[in-house]
Amino acid sequence: MEGTKIAKRFEGKVAIVTASTQGIGFTIAERLGLEGASVVISSRKQKNVDEAVEKLKSRIEVLGVVCHLSNAQQRKNLIDKTIQDAGPHMSKGSSVVIISSIAGYHPPASMAMYGVTKTALLGLTKALAAEMAPNTRVNCVAPGFVPTHFASFITENDALRKEVEGRTMLNRLGTTQDMAAATAFLASDDASYITGETLVVAGGTPSRL
């Protein structure tokens, strides 16, 4: 994020970023930390957590905790460790930002099951926002195609990459920094009157239902 002026919107805040040892999640954790948050990163593998913490610790305040989100005990441990280690830095007010995908709007036939899970996340945003209001806001970021390891089947194929870029109004793929900036906005007080919404960050790619 060199050359980018970073605000300090999260001083006194604690940010838990799941699946955050690489790709979009890693850059979101870095962005929130650079804006002043005490960041807790997590992933299923200790090795990945340790490597991510090592990369971030010289720049931000970061704690790494292994957590498989389908494991109830590990979810509890993630929260307990956050309160134990970062709790004293916490201030009032909270928000949740879910990361989905534009595939949730129009699931490609080749990614049917993936699309179904992302469509479910879009619906979950509305449900959680209603359940957790008024004390907690819940919003969703729906990224377009971003050159990460997950999307390598697109980004490493020149013809396919150009086809995907051509579907966007901006004629480019997104970046992890684009997604981190959108997430930071929704999590911040700048979005204090926004909840239950999905922000599509896809360069103008047709996406809405």
**Residue that the structure tokens 């449900």 belong to:** 127
Which of these is catalytic: 114, 121, 199, 207? 114
DSSP-based three-state secondary structure for 20: coil
3-state helix, strand, coil split of the chain in percent (to 5) is 45, 15, 35
Taking the alpha carbons at both ends of the chain, their separation in whole angstroms is: 33
Compute the C-alpha angle 63/125/122, nearest 5°: 110
Which tokens hold the place of 195? 């909840």
CB 52 within 8 A of CB 43: yes
User: What CA–CA distance (Å, rounded) separates 207 from 124?
Assistant: 18
Q: Strand pairing of 62-66 and 94-99?
A: unpaired
CA distance readout (Å), 55 to 1, 48, 139, 173: 14, 11, 28, 25
Question: Would residue 193 show up in a list of annotated catalytic residues for this protein?
Answer: no
- Active site positions, annotated: 114
